[in-house]
Structure 1
Amino acid sequence: MPWLTILMAVPVVGAVLVALTPKGNGKLAKQLALGVSVVVLALTIAMAVQFSPKGPRFQFVETYDWIPRFGVHYGVGVDGIALVLIALSAVLVPIVVLASWNDADAPHAKYSVKTYFALLLVLEAMMIGVFAATDIFLFYVFFEAMLIPMYFMIGSYGGAQRSYAAVKFLLYSLFGGLLMLVAVIGLYVIAGKNTFMFPELIGAIQDPTTQKWLFAGFFFAFAVKAPLWPFHTWLPDAAAQAPAGAAVLLVGVLDKVGTYGMLRFCLELFPDASKYFTPLVIVLSVVGIIYGAIVAIGQTDMKRLIAYTSISHFGFIALGVFAMTNDAGAGATLYMVNHGFSTGALFLIAGFLIARRGSPYIEDYGGVQKVTPKLAGVFLIAGLSGLSLPGLSSFVSEFMVLLGTYERYMVPAIISATGVILAAIYILWMYQRIAGGPTAEPVKEFKDLNRRELWVVAPLIALIIGLGFYPKPLLDVINPAVDHTLVSVQVEKFTPAIAEKGAGQ
């Protein structure tokens, strides 16, 4: 069964059906979009159940000639890393559809309700495609194509400065993508294999200097997409101006394409260059961790604060990727998933607050927990996950990244650990100012979470708690894929001295 093609085709067909709904019948468009996204989630679960962690590296493989003259294929397949990220996309989209029920009805919206939800479904197809592509040219096509629906979602349905934020997002991403295109063409020409298929290009470039130049083209595009400091400046504007649901997919999924690309393509296609640039990337990652956290502390806008926390989190993920140890690599992959859930919950809760108060500024709130205890409760759980409290999902992945990094790079790991302390400051201070203290006059009129909003946050809170206590199912899928990646990079498995001593005894 062509699982991956079906997973991409269903939301595209759904988007067409949503676009064809009668004008003025926004409710039907919403219901249809929700139904299609739930079908995609069900199909993703059915596919994931059939995935064998001990089987071939890439499964559910489909390969068809697309442009034979240039060796371009429609090639898709998933390993454990791609599978969990596709699952992340499939889980978040129906939640975002339900959370965005009223987003497209805003008076300032440039296009219709059905256009917004059709764009959501098209974006879902692009996100699945970018993680599933095993042909590098096809990956590039999805990498660029997914910018278009997000651009229109921000620019047509966002906040007061939506046009500026959307253009900035698009220009940054297109510039990074242009450099990657040059590197993709260079890889194709220099390899001389007349193919863009990723498995066949592993090990094709042996010259260290050539690897460095090609690595730079790929890495720059991924660093902008992630975003890694100092390529991050587009993210706070885009996340702050995007509708809450679009911000969830932007930070929760689209940005993961950057760190996924580092792990998938940079390490395996250019192993020598990856090792050469590792010190630089680790420095950028550590700076990003500290910088993002410190700047987040000083933010007055909720969504900008959450965006800056994500810059700090992406520093942890990049650190885990380039530490090149099994624990750090698996932790970085798990971090991508857990960050999507915890940060997604924070953005959605911020959206609920803004919908009630009409303001994104923290100072306009106060005493929320006295008026809306359910809203304050889920806000606290999502915030505690964002600061990696033990027992919640982000703790496991952050601990694995720091542990794996410490095995090879002790000083960067110790410095990065201070990000945990800074996270406690920006999360708890934000929560204290919004939920604690005297109740602001406008807050007294707030209503607690309604049934739709409870359906939105309940799955995320359940995943945050569940994966905090039992991450094994995901790690069982992720670990073999990370191990295979590190073998391809020819990195010896690192055994801490304490483990060697225990084995000797």
Structure 2
Amino acid sequence: MEQLLLLLIFLPLVGALVTAFSGNAAKHVALISAMVSLALALVMVCNFTPDASTQFAVSYPWIQQLGVNFHAGVDGISMITILLTNVLVPLIILAAYQHGYKSPNAFFALILFMQCGLLVVFTAMDAFLFYIGWEAALIPIYFICAIWGGKDRIKVNMKFFVYTIAGSLFMLLGIIYLYLQNPAKNFEIQALYNLTLDSSQQTWIFWSFFIAFAIKMPIFPFHTWQPDTYTEAPAPGTMLLSGIMLKMGIYGVIRWLLPIVPFGVQEWGNTAIILSVIGIVYASLIAFTQKDAKRLVAYSSIAHVGLISAGIFALNTQGMQGAMVQMLSHGINVVGLFFVLDIISSRLKTNRISELGGIAKQAPKLAIVFLIIVLGTVALPGTNGFIGEFLLLMGVYQYNVWVAVFAGLTIIFGAVYMFRMYQNIMLGKTNELTIGFTDIKGSEKVVLYAICALIIALGVYPKPILQLSEASVQHLIEQVTQKLTSVN
């Protein structure tokens, strides 16, 4: 079974190469590749033992002179992100079926290439391999946004690129420093976990990693690239960025930051939580003022990710488990939201809320699925958003009551601006623009029905997802706590 992980990682790369030379059949080839990857991921889940061990591990010498190995493995934490990636990529490809993108073979090949980079990030047990995957996932999304984006795509994309490259360089410096401190002179994750670093070393390592991860998520004040990029990117690009790519930053904090520099986290974690909560309140207030629905959802994403970040840095089991569940739930919900807005935009050529209205009368099926997605986003009990946000708020409450009060504003504010957006877009009277709106059909139905099914299924019965990550999360918390108490 150990070769299953290699197959899972490299199948999207093979699929990308085949798709690149598939001409008009590119989207079908890409979808088949993504569906096979999903099937492999489900096989992996079925053969996964939900304990704290690393499974399906592979390790091959790569750059022996530098001590670099192709070392990858899966535990409960990475299994959640693997599921997220392989569930969302076929939905994103299918969502792009309705568009006639120029050079479709290049477009769909880049999506699969990005999938490969993401899977490397989520399974890497070698810091150098993690960095390679981190950069490999950035390259295709840059071209997707730059070639197929909106009218301001070049300027906006350059800002996004500068932000992410700057963050990556900070992380690279941190990785090189850790390598130099490692007597074994390798990048193995366990060797880096076992390093003994003093407080000043841990402080600067904390910030070198945290800045890279905070930009990717993004957390206030590293968020300014996000709303413009989400707005200007083509819909599948926005879905990839919001649904999967920002989870790289969350995963990086959990997998690399917390275990390597626990004293740095103890010293500066409070600052990270404050920044996260500021981002929740700030992004929610800005979302109230948005005239463009796509920008509103972009700001709501910042608020939700801020709560996930606060839950992680609270350093308790509830907060961490909440982060794991919410990573999956947020990815599903935000992809659904952006797809609904893409359907509206492709029919009416606008996402300006004031120009819409009465669409529910013309498209009742779209109105129902859109409402289910909105309910999941605002964490209604019985939907996928509820269990994650409940656990996150419990974790933050254990950390500090007042922080939890402000963090909880994400639910209150979110309900207000999301329902108001839904009301203004879907309800009321039709106008000259929306009178001819047609309901969802074909691939649109498949994607939205699948997303709604996931929202309800995970909301009603989240136990399998919680069980996947529970042992690994508890082991991580114990690992960090043991390091802190052994010195104190």
TM-score, structure 2 length as denominator? 0.97
Is the CA contact (8 Å cut-off) linking 1:160 and 1:241 kept in structure 2? yes
Where does residue 95 of structure 1 map in the other structure?
Answer: 91
* Inter-partner Cα distance in structure 1 for 2:392 and 2:478: 19
Where does residue 375 of structure 1 map in the other structure?
Answer: 366
Is the CA contact (8 Å cut-off) linking 2:378 and 2:415 kept in structure 1? yes
* Inter-partner Cα distance in structure 2 for 1:151 and 1:205: 38
Answer yes or no: is 1:263 the counterpart of 2:264.
Answer: no
Aligned-partner residue type, residue 14 of structure 1: G
Post-superposition offset of 1:31: 0.8
SS at match of 2:97: coil
Where does residue 68 of structure 2 map in the other structure?
Answer: 72
Where does residue 320 of structure 2 map in the other structure?
Answer: 329
* Inter-partner Cα distance in structure 2 for 1:36 and 1:453: 20
Is the CA contact (8 Å cut-off) linking 2:218 and 2:302 kept in structure 1? yes
Is the CA contact (8 Å cut-off) linking 1:191 and 1:205 kept in structure 2? no
Post-superposition offset of 1:492: 10
Is the CA contact (8 Å cut-off) linking 2:182 and 2:191 kept in structure 1? no
Where does residue 420 of structure 2 map in the other structure?
Answer: 429
Is the CA contact (8 Å cut-off) linking 2:304 and 2:410 kept in structure 1? no
* Inter-partner Cα distance in structure 2 for 1:409 and 1:396: 20
* Inter-partner Cα distance in structure 2 for 1:430 and 1:349: 12
Q: Deviations over 1:127-160 (max 9, x none)?
A: 1111011101100011111111000111111111
Where does residue 13 of structure 2 map in the other structure?
Answer: 12
Where does residue 460 of structure 2 map in the other structure?
Answer: 469
Post-superposition offset of 1:192: 2.6
* Inter-partner Cα distance in structure 2 for 1:191 and 1:30: 46
Answer yes or no: is 1:165 the counterpart of 2:179.
Answer: no
SS at match of 1:228: coil
| Aligned partner (choices 314, 322, 329) of residue 338 of structure 1 | 329
* Inter-partner Cα distance in structure 2 for 1:102 and 1:381: 22
Post-superposition offset of 1:491: 6.1
Answer yes or no: is 1:355 the counterpart of 2:355.
Answer: no
| Aligned partner (choices 71, 74, 85) of residue 81 of structure 2 | 85
How does 1:296-307 map onto structure 2 within 5 Å?
296-307=287-298
SS at match of 2:408: helix
Where does residue 45 of structure 1 map in the other structure?
Answer: 42
* Inter-partner Cα distance in structure 2 for 1:96 and 1:431: 22
Post-superposition offset of 1:361: 1.1
Aligned-partner residue type, residue 200 of structure 1: A
Aligned-partner residue type, residue 248 of structure 1: M
Where does residue 26 of structure 2 map in the other structure?
Answer: 29
* Inter-partner Cα distance in structure 1 for 2:79 and 2:330: 16
SS at match of 2:184: coil
Is the CA contact (8 Å cut-off) linking 1:211 and 1:270 kept in structure 2? yes
* Inter-partner Cα distance in structure 2 for 1:197 and 1:219: 20
* Inter-partner Cα distance in structure 2 for 1:263 and 1:491: 16
* Inter-partner Cα distance in structure 1 for 2:284 and 2:469: 28
How does 1:45-444 map onto structure 2 within 5 Å?
45-54=42-51, 57-103=53-99, 105-106=100-101, 109=102, 112-444=103-435
Gaps of 5+ in 2: none
Q: Deviations over 1:382-430 (max 9, x none)?
A: 1111111111111110000101111121110112112211001110110
Where does residue 502 of structure 1 map in the other structure?
Answer: none
Q: Deviations over 1:177-216 (max 9, x none)?
A: 0011001001110233211011221130331111111111
SS at match of 1:201: helix
Q: Which runs of 4+ in 1 moved over 2 A?
A: none
Aligned-partner residue type, residue 109 of structure 2: A
Is the CA contact (8 Å cut-off) linking 1:289 and 1:416 kept in structure 2? yes
SS at match of 1:443: coil
Is the CA contact (8 Å cut-off) linking 1:72 and 1:195 kept in structure 2? yes
Gaps of 5+ in 1: 494-505
* Inter-partner Cα distance in structure 2 for 1:231 and 1:192: 34
Is the CA contact (8 Å cut-off) linking 1:226 and 1:255 kept in structure 2? yes
SS at match of 1:101: helix
TM-score, structure 1 length as denominator? 0.94
Is the CA contact (8 Å cut-off) linking 1:126 and 1:145 kept in structure 2? yes
Is the CA contact (8 Å cut-off) linking 1:77 and 1:134 kept in structure 2? yes
Is the CA contact (8 Å cut-off) linking 1:205 and 1:269 kept in structure 2? no
Aligned-partner residue type, residue 333 of structure 1: M
- Residues 146 and 492 from structure 1, CA distance in 2 versus in 1: closer, same or farther, beyond 3 angstroms? closer
Is the CA contact (8 Å cut-off) linking 1:205 and 1:211 kept in structure 2? no
Is the CA contact (8 Å cut-off) linking 2:13 and 2:113 kept in structure 1? yes
Post-superposition offset of 1:245: 1.5
Q: Deviations over 1:89-111 (max 9, x none)?
A: 100111111100143x25xx5xx
Post-superposition offset of 1:474: 0.4
SS at match of 1:249: helix
* Inter-partner Cα distance in structure 2 for 1:492 and 1:325: 15
Is the CA contact (8 Å cut-off) linking 2:53 and 2:75 kept in structure 1? yes
Aligned residues: 483
Is the CA contact (8 Å cut-off) linking 2:22 and 2:29 kept in structure 1? no
Is the CA contact (8 Å cut-off) linking 1:393 and 1:468 kept in structure 2? yes
Where does residue 503 of structure 1 map in the other structure?
Answer: none
Where does residue 496 of structure 1 map in the other structure?
Answer: none
SS at match of 2:434: helix
Is the CA contact (8 Å cut-off) linking 1:205 and 1:270 kept in structure 2? no
Is the CA contact (8 Å cut-off) linking 1:324 and 1:491 kept in structure 2? no
Aligned-partner residue type, residue 53 of structure 1: P
Where does residue 498 of structure 1 map in the other structure?
Answer: none
Where does residue 499 of structure 1 map in the other structure?
Answer: none
* Inter-partner Cα distance in structure 2 for 1:159 and 1:468: 35
Post-superposition offset of 1:360: 1.8
SS at match of 1:391: coil
Is the CA contact (8 Å cut-off) linking 2:150 and 2:233 kept in structure 1? yes
* Inter-partner Cα distance in structure 1 for 2:373 and 2:412: 17
| Aligned partner (choices 429, 432, 447) of residue 456 of structure 1 | 447
Is the CA contact (8 Å cut-off) linking 2:262 and 2:483 kept in structure 1? no
